[in-house]
Chains A and B, each alone.
Chain A
Amino acid sequence: MKKPDKTVIERRIVFLLLVLAVALPIILPLGLKTQSTPLTEQVYDLVNSLPAGAPVIISFDYDPSTITELQPMAEAVIEHAWRKGHKVIATAMWPQGPQVAEMAFNVVQARMEEKDPNARKLMYGVDYVNLGYKPGGMVTIQGMGRSMEAIFPTDITGLKYNKIPMLSPVRTLKDIRYVISLSAGDPGLRDWIMTANGKFNIPVAGGTTAVSAPGFLPYVNDQKQLHGLMGGLKAAAEYELLLGYEGTASLGMNPQSVAHVLILALILFGNIRAWKKRKADKLAQEAKHG
């Protein structure tokens, strides 16, 4: 049998270390605490600033591949909006968005009922609604600025727009008090910023994967193109912290933090090895040239 070369063995060791770095903190949580940052606090403040009854849109612009980062964010934002009594309208610019929205609604509802069994049960069509998926990105949002009913004639159950009680005061996008887009790419947050905020002046906040967050930071400015930004699992954990509970994001920060430290250690190790190799090459060259 052919013996695997050194690079393959090294790669396998790296993979094994990463598995351990992720698995061990899940099995034995380290109890690490996160700290909230101004960007997440801005999103929290936007939701917190509005009175009960305000119609709001949470747009589920992602699919299950990024659920680990974005679903805890969705759950935290929905819980906050419901605690404040906002009327949550779920929309989606990605085909799997309506399903992930339903999952988030179910989880938050169960959690809130568990926390306070005597609280009023949240009702579909009265406290929240799922309008489903629409293709078209920015153009669809422009259409919502003309008529919400024209874009979403029915919800995902097939119920007509004008028969849904909580939607009676919502004629166009201009009746919405804020939009939070949880976005894994295009179409997504950028379309909401450029159209809902740029054209209709609706406050827009967002949540993205950690890797795409830096690209949205220019929109968090004095003109408030973006009212705060949640980037990755850490921001979801921060939102959970602000709401005062430990959810999947807070727990997920344990393995993520250990994995980050492992990657840093690997970078350090790789550099030491490269430096040693360079030194050895230099010495060999000096010896060769006398």
Chain B
Amino acid sequence: MKRNIPLIVAFVSGVIILIAGFIPRDPFPRIESTLIDWFMIISSFAILLGQASLLRMNVTRVAEKAPNWQYHLAGLVSFGLMLVFGLLWGMEKTPGMLGQGQGIVEKLGMKPFDYLFENAFIPLSSTMFSLLAFYIASAAYRAFIIRNFESNLLMITAVIVMLGRTSFAPMLTGWIPESLSWLRLPELTNFIMQYPNTAAQRAILISAALGIVGASLRIILGIERSYLGGGK
């Protein structure tokens, strides 16, 4: 019963949405729109669930003094601070429980939530993302080695596209006469991106779409049950 009810819900919802796609006549669009509303409500609850799970996981790690528990504590403190500031004074134009917090805004120049968002969250997030550049540089130096025809081809393409995406590209090949303009780096880059890349991407997209159709049918028909959890 515990597994059959979710399977029946998935089957009925899936079939209704499928039929509504092909038969836009009552009652299907009406039921479809109700299901859409339900989906959005469930999605909102998923956010709450995520927060609860984050909180529980971090509290457990801190309580158990797991390795690097200090980071989990920092996470909890940050979570708590943002939550409290957001609830009390809101963010940007949104008022909080204590209104717009004019007094604090005069001191900080903005609301506490926005202050932390702009001066802590944004720089930290950008820094995390920027670290990728270091890994790419290091990996490019050690791993991007020509060994055979395929890697040679990949290397030539990468060099053209990377150079073509820089501001040096027009300078480097600007001297090439107009009759041979297709040899200029920006033009070559556009060609590679627009034709070989797009063709390959299209093949990937079509394959992925077919895969999604297959996976969706497996879920609707109850063949694929991993989303129910429980391992087996």
Contact = CB atoms under 8 A, between A and B. Distances in A.
A99 B117 contact: yes
- Chain B binding site: helix, strand, loop or mixed by DSSP? helix
A263 B166 CA distance: 12
A64 interface: yes
Interface string A33-66: 1110110000000000000000000000001111
A136 B93 CA distance: 24
Interface stretch (B1-9, B70-78, B157-165): B157-165
Nearest to A132: B94
A102 B121 contact: no
B31 interface: no
Contact of B93 (A32, A130, A234): A130
Nearest to A269: B141
B137 A18 contact: yes
A150 B41 CA distance: 12
A134 interface: yes
The A interface is mostly helix, strand or loop, or mixed, namely helix
A135 B40 contact: yes
A38 to B, nearest CB: 7
Contacts of A261: 163, 166, 168
Interface string B78-98: 000000000000011111000
B194 interface: yes
A270 B142 contact: yes
B91 A99 contact: yes
A266 B125 contact: no
B40 A134 contact: yes
A14 interface: yes
Contact of A135 (B43, B91, B95, B193): B43
Interface stretch (A81-89, A209-217, A279-287): A209-217
A99 B165 contact: no
Contacts of A14: 134, 137-138, 141
B37 A143 contact: yes
Interface string B145-187: 1100000000100110011011111110000000000000010
A65 B125 contact: yes
Given A10-B141, A263-B140, A214 B197 contact: yes
B162 A264 contact: yes
7 contacts: A18-B137, A65-B126, A134-B40, A139-B40, A214-B197, A253-B166, A260-B163
Given A135-B40, A140-B40, 18 more contacts: A15-B137, A15-B138, A32-B171, A37-B190, A65-B125, A99-B91, A134-B40, A135-B46, A139-B39, A143-B37, A143-B40, A156-B94, A210-B165, A214-B193, A260-B166, A266-B141, A267-B140, A269-B141
Interface of A: 7, 10-11, 14-15, 17-18, 22, 30, 32-35, 37-38, 63-68, 95-96, 98-99, 102-103, 124, 130, 134-136, 139-140, 142-143, 146, 150-151, 156-158, 210, 214-215, 217-218, 232, 234, 237, 253-254, 256-257, 259-264, 266-267, 269-271, 274
